[in-house]
Amino acid sequence: MTGKINVREARKGDFAQWEPLWDGYTRFYEREPDAKITAVTWQRFFDSYEPMHLLVAELDGKIVGIVHYIFHRSTWMIGPTCYLQDLFTQDGLRGKGIGRALIEAVYAKAKEASSQRVYWLTQETNTIAMKLYDSIAEKPGFVVYRKTIA
């Protein structure tokens, strides 16, 4: 790694660099990329009515990391809550500060939006990422349940 990490909002012209990282993220969680979901997700980032956002991390002019986050209401707070939904760094560059830079950028966006909380989920087996997460956030002790509705 030779350059400085630059985190910025995504631009429509970033699709060709974002898509391989998005595909890598979906495969990391053992899902196959779905072209329709990919297209709709990408469109949502640029729709001002959608609460979904995308930041990218650049290194030497190339996008090497992505983070998707969503603002939503909460019954526990007046301001919006920020859900950091997806975070992914290019293989071979993990542990170089890219993930931390992306999370810190989401923290800044949340503060701008008067959000009092940023939260996210990860799999228990994602131990490498959890080393970072443990250093910049707290584990509140909640267990996640879900039911797929077909």
Q: How many domains does the chain have?
A: 1
Residue 81 has pLDDT above 60, yes or no: yes
Helix axes 127-136, 98-112, angle to 10 degrees: 40
Instruction: Report which residue type is found at 11.
Output: R
- For residue 3, name the pLDDT band (cuts at 50, 70, 90): confident
Q: Is residue 45 part of a domain?
A: yes
The pLDDT value recorded for residue 150 is 85
- Those residues whose C-beta lies under 8 Å from the C-beta of residue 1, and which sit 6 or more positions away, are 59, 93, 96
CATH of residue 97:
3.40.630.30
What is the domain extent for residue 53? 6-136
Is residue 69 domain-resident?
A: yes
